[in-house]
Structure 1
Amino acid sequence: MAVSVSRDLTVQVLEDVNLVKLTDRQQALRAAIQKGEPKSLGVSQVMLGLMVMSYSIPLHFTELTEVVWFGVPWWSGVTFITAGVFAIVLDKHGTMRLLQVCVAVSVAAAAVSVMAVIIYSVDIGKNPMAPCNNVNVNQCDDKHYATRLSRGVKSSLLLFTLAQMVVSTVLGFLLYRQRRGFGQYTSLNQAAPSTPTSSTAPGQD
């Protein structure tokens, strides 16, 4: 904190250098975050999460497999939506604390994506499409069509989850790089008054 004393014994408390530097770095942090466009990536995460959850609905009307038993589309979709919402909020409020939370959520979303991809792959391998048993001319039985629909839906969910894994990884990497660049300023939490104040020595009117 800088103090200035004039000839008439008026004391002025000037702006804190650390506060000015912290304010400048916070503005630079927000500009850097917005330059990385987390909002667009966050919207992509939200859309992918909604698509995963909506596309999984037909699986409940076909043969129930591991994907449905474990509820993979639902908990993975909720994780994707949560990560996307944090990224959208970060674009509006670029604080260091929110940046750290967004990095953690993005890493969690990427890890969930890896788990979901493994479960989808194992499920598709264990549940092949049933052969076509003709009930009429050019018409198969219901089991064939049910397993065909299930396999197609799971393949789509697998692709969406792979896309989500890429988006979460890219977003987490970009935000982590910004966190490393600005992390040294998180310790500047003792701020002086933002505007100069003045006081007069006793006995002075």
Structure 2
Amino acid sequence: MAVSVSRDLTVQVLPDVNTVKLSDRQQELCAAVKRGEPKCLGVSQVMLGLMVMSYSIPLHVTELTQVVTLGVPWWSGLMFITAGLVAILLDKQCTLKMLQVCVIVSLVSILLSLVAVIIYAVDIGKNPEGECVGGRTCSDQHFAMKFSNGVKRALLIFTLAQTTISAVLCYLLLRQKRTFGQYASLAQDVTTSSSTLAAPDLN
């Protein structure tokens, strides 16, 4: 905190250089994060989560496989929606703490997406469609498995798209965090120093 005293003995408190620098850097961080468009990526994550959950509904009518019994579309879809909502909140509340939360949620989303991709691939491999008898007449189970595997392939593509979006968002946020992370300690120093300063007794 800088103080200037004029000739008529009036005291003027000047803004702290570190506080000004910190606020400038926070504004630069917000501008840099918004250039990465976390809101758009968040909306796309929410849409993918809703699509995964809605596309999985027909799987409950067909043959029950590991994807349905493990509830893969439901927990992966909920994770996609959560990651998208956190990214949308980051666009509104641009702080380093919120950025860290968004990075952690994006990393968890990537991890769960990869687990879901593995489960989809294994499930499709374990439950083949089967061949038609005599090459012409096909059973109802053949068509049910064909439909089920088609839905699972679509869910697999959506999950891969979610993995890509989460990875891109995580990369952009980690780059911004590395650039502006050095000012987190400055923010703590400024708040502690301003809270410990007391007004002098002039009487």
TM-score norm. by structure 2 comes to 0.90
Task: Verify the 8 A CA contact 1:9 1:200 in the aligned structure 2.
Answer: no
Task: Verify the 8 A CA contact 1:12 1:199 in the aligned structure 2.
Answer: no
After superposition, residues 64-143 of structure 1 pair within 5 angstroms as 64-133=64-133, 140-143=138-141
Residue of structure 2 in register with 1:182 after alignment: 180
Residue of structure 2 in register with 1:162 after alignment: 160
Query: 2:106 & 2:33 partners in 1: Cα distance?
Result: 15
Query: 2:137 & 2:58 partners in 1: Cα distance?
Result: 21
**Divergent runs of 4+, >6 A:** none
Q: CA deviation at 1:140?
A: 2.8
Query: 2:15 & 2:74 partners in 1: Cα distance?
Result: 52
Q: Whose helix fraction is larger, Structure 1's or Structure 2's?
A: 2
Aligned length: 195
Query: 2:142 & 2:133 partners in 1: Cα distance?
Result: 8
The answer for unaligned runs of 5 or more in structure 1 is none
Query: 1:171 & 1:139 partners in 2: Cα distance?
Result: 49
Q: CA deviation at 1:131?
A: 2.6
Residue 46 of structure 1 aligns to a residue whose secondary structure is: helix
Letter in 2 for 1:154: K
Query: 2:149 & 2:94 partners in 1: Cα distance?
Result: 42
Q: CA deviation at 1:54?
A: 0.5
Query: 1:62 & 1:157 partners in 2: Cα distance?
Result: 15
Q: Which gives a bigger RCO, structure 1 or 2 (Cα 8 Å, sep 6+)?
A: 1
Task: Verify the 8 A CA contact 1:46 1:84 in the aligned structure 2.
Answer: yes
After superposition, residues 30-49 of structure 1 pair within 5 angstroms as 30-49=30-49
The answer for unaligned runs of 5 or more in structure 2 is none
After superposition, residues 141-152 of structure 1 pair within 5 angstroms as 141-152=139-150
TM-score norm. by structure 1 comes to 0.89
Letter in 2 for 1:153: V
Q: CA deviation at 1:130?
A: 2.9
Pairwise CA RMSD of aligned residues? 1.9
